[in-house]
């Protein structure tokens, strides 16, 4: 059994609230996790076991020991990875193309395998996923408490993910919303499609630049929902599939869909600082660089 010890300095925003209310109201931590921490006396305040009704003061330090009893065994695998941000609670990685985010069954050549290798076998769990051939920011939790909090933040849309894409053709509407439900394509096992019986899906976009010579549009997108292949399906639906996206009728200009998770923005759940983490382009050969430079 592994114990994950985390230390959290108390910011001024939590002054005078109790330990109990910090877990219950601020973090909305899972009841089972909180129960185990209380029973095992795993929460220290300034180095001492504390009552859960104790009021916190700015500058106090909580120390929490979290047992990883139910940790799944995932094979650490070495790959060179691009760490964009890391602290004791989370990390953000720039995912390359051709790599899937997490293993299915016994796969071991995934981004999660590489992150666990980087962390010397310690806890890591992805908070969201990217398609195999999409590059950019992926957020990982480094202990079960941050995992639970970040999962909830994602569900409540408190984690903003910004994507860049190159679409086929020239979009003349500079700002738009695509609101079209997405479901499975019953004729193709991996494709999705716009369907009246599908799950609600909303994509906001704005045009950054158009390139008449190449017949391409550089767009920035944010998602109000997180459906599988959402951006790819939505832009195919409006007649502008992503360049290189063979699955969704895109052109063959590139060897993958031209989609990059450019930026992730959220309030850190423990420090309460705003994080805005941007992923550089890492394609070899480059897809976005020449269009980005012209846009810049």
Over residues 53-107, the pLDDT tens digits come to 999 999 999 999 987 765 667 899 999 999 999 999 999 999 999 999 998 877 8
> Same domain, yes or no, for 137 and 178?
no
Is residue 109 in a domain? yes
148 and 101 within one domain: yes
Confidence at 15, pLDDT banded by 50, 70, 90: very high
Residue 71: predicted pLDDT: 60
Give pLDDT tens digits for 150-160.
Answer: 999 999 999 99
Q: Which residue among 41, 67, 93 closes a domain?
A: 67
Q: Give pLDDT, residue 3.
A: 63
Query: Does residue 255 share a domain with residue 168?
Result: yes
Residue at 226 is within a domain: yes
Are the C-beta atoms of 65 and 4 separated by less than 8 Å?
yes
**Among 13, 36, 67, where does a domain finish?**
67
Distance CA 143, CA 125 (A): 8
Tell me the pLDDT of the chain averaged across its residues.
93
Instruction: Indicate whether 284 belongs to any domain.
Output: no
Give pLDDT, residue 181: 97
The beta-strand segments (E) located in the chain are 3-9, 43-45, 48-49, 61-67, 82-86, 90-95, 125-126, 135-141, 160-168, 175-179, 182-184, 192-194, 202-211, 216-223, 259-267, 274-278
105 and 186 in a single domain? The answer is no
149, part of any domain: yes
* pLDDT above 50 for 296: no
Position 199 in a domain: yes
Count of domains for the chain:
3
Percent of the chain whose pLDDT exceeds 70: 96
- What does the alpha-carbon distance between residue 281 and residue 288 come to, in Å, rounded to a whole number? 7
Distance CA 70, CA 84 (A): 28
What pLDDT was estimated at residue 188?
A: 86
Helix or strand run (H / E) with residue 153:
helix 144-155
pTM of the model: 0.92
Judge if 112 and 169 occupy the same domain.
no
Same domain, 107 and 232: no
Catalytic residue positions? Answer: 131
Same domain, 176 and 247: yes
Query: Range with the lowest mean pLDDT among 45-49, 177-181, 201-205, 289-293?
Result: 289-293
Residue 19's CATH number: 3.10.290.10
Residue 73 lies in a domain: no
Domain co-membership, 182 together with 203: yes
pLDDT beyond 80 at 195: yes
Confidence of residue 277 (pLDDT cuts 50, 70, 90): very high
Residue 74 lies in a domain: no
Convert the pLDDT of each residue in 208-267 to its tens digit.
Answer: 999 999 999 999 999 999 899 999 999 999 999 999 999 999 999 999 999 999 999 999
User: Same domain for 182 and 150?
Assistant: no
Domain assignment of residue 138, given as a range: 82-160+266-276
Taking the CA atoms of residue 188, residue 190, residue 196 and residue 198 in that order, the dihedral angle to the nearest 10 degrees is 140
State the pLDDT confidence band at 2, using cuts at 50, 70 and 90.
Answer: low
Is the model's pLDDT at 282 over the cut of 80?
yes
Q: Work out the pLDDT band at 1, boundaries 50, 70, 90.
A: very low
pLDDT at 124 over 70: yes
In order of 29, 68, 122, the CA distances from 33 in angstroms are: 7, 11, 19
Report the chain's terminal Cα–Cα distance, integer Å.
Answer: 51
pLDDT at 116 over 50: yes
Number of helices (H), then strands (E), in the chain: 6, 16
- If asked whether residues 56 and 182 sit together in one domain, one would say no
- Residues 10 and 62 reside in one and the same domain: yes
Same domain, 91 and 172: no
Mode of pairing for the β-strands spanning 61-67 and 43-45: antiparallel
Residue 122 belongs to domain with CATH number: 3.30.2350.10
Percent of the chain with pLDDT over 90: 84
Cα distance between residue 240 and residue 229, in whole Å:
14
Q: Is residue 145 part of a domain?
A: yes
């Amino acid at each position: 059994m592994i114990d994950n010890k985390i230390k959290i300095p108390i910011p001024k925003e939590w002054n005078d609230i109790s330990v109990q209310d910090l877990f219950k109201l601020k973090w909305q931590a899972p009841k089972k996790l909180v129960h185990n921490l209380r029973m095992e006396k795993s929460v220290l305040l300034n180095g001492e076991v504390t009552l859960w009704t104790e009021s916190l003061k700015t500058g106090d330090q909580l120390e929490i020991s979290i047992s990883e009893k139910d940790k799944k065994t995932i094979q650490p695998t070495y790959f060179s990875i691009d760490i964009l941000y890391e602290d004791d609670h989370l990390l953000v990685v720039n995912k390359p193309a051709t790599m899937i985010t997490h293993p299915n069954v016994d796969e071991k050549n995934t981004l999660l395998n590489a992150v666990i290798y980087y962390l010397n076998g310690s806890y890591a769990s992805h908070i969201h996923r990217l398609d195999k051939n999409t590059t950019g920011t992926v957020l990982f939790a480094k202990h079960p408490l941050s995992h639970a909090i970040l999962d909830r933040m994602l569900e409540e849309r408190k984690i903003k993910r910004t994507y860049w894409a190159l679409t086929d053709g020239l979009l003349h509407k500079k700002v738009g919303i695509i609101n079209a439900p997405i479901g499975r394509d019953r004729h193709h096992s991996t494709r999705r499609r716009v369907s009246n019986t599908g799950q609600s899906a909303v994509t906001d976009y704005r045009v950054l630049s158009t390139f008449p010579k190449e017949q391409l549009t550089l767009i920035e997108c944010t998602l109000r929902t997180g459906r599988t292949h959402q951006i790819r399906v939505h832009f195919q639906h409006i007649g502008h599939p992503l360049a290189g996206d063979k699955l969704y009728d895109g052109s063959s200009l590139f060897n993958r869909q031209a989609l990059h998770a450019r930026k992730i923005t959220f309030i850190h759940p423990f420090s309460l600082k705003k994080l805005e983490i941007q992923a550089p382009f890492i394609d070899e050969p480059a897809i976005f660089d020449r269009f980005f430079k012209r846009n810049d």
